[in-house]
Chain A
């Protein structure tokens, strides 16, 4: 069983749509990361959360520690948001990754 489950695996949206990507985990964590990987392969850290909610531009990340669940929201999606979004959790001295959600935003 994977400790980190993401949904959906693939997501296609029209430009301007509101996007939600979900991440559930089964271990007690010290922090959760949302990462973005573009088609060129580079990885960028979007958020690091241990509680509550964070916002950066059109991106919002929330986490519910009791329910072991986090969501990444993208408002007013744009084709440049097309990428793979990866959830990663830190616990003890380890770090585990979700399989990623491939987002395609069509103009």
Chain B
């Protein structure tokens, strides 16, 4: 079975542009997580979904960030408008349960100029 698939792997954009990151979880997994990793702050949980429903988005830095999971096989993380401080690697992970083992995608490296 394929692992967690993220796209794009790399994105370079200019300040003010909209950015959409995509994630396909492992089939059958009920929980999906979005994380951000920066040199300054390390790894941070942004939001997670359980059975496609957002459970906790308190980690989302501000209103410019939004995440959706329209079905069990797809999720998006959108930043609008993007700012240079959003530059980071964004990871998606899925799990059979919220309390289960995590399976990470390879990450999307975002650079906002």
Question: Which residues of A does B touch, CB under 8 Å?
Answer: 30-31, 33, 35, 41-45, 48, 86, 88, 90, 93-100
Query: Out of B55, B59, B104, which one reaches A43, CB within 8 Å?
Result: B104
Nearest opposing residue in chain B for A30, CB measure: B99
* Residue contact B91 to A93, C-beta cutoff 8 Å: no
Question: Which residues of B does A touch, CB under 8 Å?
Answer: 33, 42-45, 48, 55-56, 58-59, 89, 91, 93, 98-104, 106-107, 109
> Measured between C-beta atoms, what is the minimum distance from A36 to chain B in Å?
10
* Residue contact B45 to A95, C-beta cutoff 8 Å: yes
Q: Hey, which chain A residues are within 8 Å of B107, CB to CB?
A: 41-43
> Measured between C-beta atoms, what is the minimum distance from A21 to chain B in Å?
15
Nearest opposing residue in chain B for A99, CB measure: B42
How distant is the Cα of A41 from the Cα of B102 in the complex, in angstroms? 16
- Show 30 A/B contacts (Cβ-Cβ < 8 Å), sorted by A: A33-B102, A35-B102, A35-B104, A41-B106, A41-B107, A41-B109, A42-B104, A42-B106, A45-B101, A45-B102, A45-B103, A45-B104, A48-B100, A48-B101, A48-B102, A86-B42, A86-B43, A88-B43, A90-B98, A90-B99, A93-B48, A93-B55, A93-B58, A94-B56, A94-B58, A95-B48, A97-B44, A98-B42, A99-B42, A100-B42
